[in-house]
Structure 1
Amino acid sequence: MDDPYDLQRFVRAQEPVYRDVLAELGAGRKTSHWMWFIFPQLAALGRSGTAKFYGIASRDEAVAYWKHAVLGPRLKECAGLVLAAAVRKSAHDIFGSPDDLKLRSSMTLFGAVAADEPVFGRVLDACHAGQPDPQTLALL
């Protein structure tokens, strides 16, 4: 299978923890370390080695992630769980800091490349007063 962006790095990272991710998001509180590979953001925004490794390098890579048979549906599922939790909690309550800001960056990125999917904009509406991340938009 052709994988020019090494998207398998995300699948490999998600595989052992994905059920835990769903449970944490369903409970409305992230308690373990998976933000980088569940809600990726642009690589240029990352500071740590892990953030850079799981960072999305370009618009084309973000499109490929969204269209990936495993990653796209998982991203949508997780965003939907955030949206459900945001009815009763803030992004900061769900994710803590700075992961609440990483969520904003990720939702901005995927909202820009998957314009036909409303969940990313809805998460921004619920968690960040509808305001996309200006740094992500500038980098795109």
Structure 2
Amino acid sequence: MGGCLHSSQDHTIHTEGEPGPPAAPAFTSTPKKMPKSISISKQLASIKALKKGSDLEKAIATVALIFKNSSDPDGKLGKSTAKNLLQTQYRNFTEGEEAKPKYQDILSDLDEHTENKLDFEDFMILLLSITVMSDLLQNIWSAKITK
């Protein structure tokens, strides 16, 4: 999907008590699995670099943790799992979009994915593609912000 090239750079997550650089967190495709019974907020709290992280950093880390908790041991999502995540975790962006040709194109690309599985990069491209074409994004852009 999307034709992006993958980076071969190794990234790791440093949790509480582990030595590591104070840089922003990065994720690897084969980190230790956190038990699925632990809430995402507790998993986020366990990542030392996010203790003072921005809202954007925490949002991306949340996506990464949801992906990791849903992926197979190889760090990939099956198409049916990806579609289920869209319906359960991203429904405000997907609801009512089914009739749009662009949405159908995005899902068609997912169905035609050669491996039948998505890595994290492909999943992020899927989310961003749906976000950009969604009515909810238009509502967000037009919302009046009051202080």
Shorter-chain TM band: under 0.3
Q: Give me the TM-score of the superposition, normalised by structure 2.
A: 0.26
Bigger CA radius of gyration? 2
Q: Give me the TM-score of the superposition, normalised by structure 1.
A: 0.26
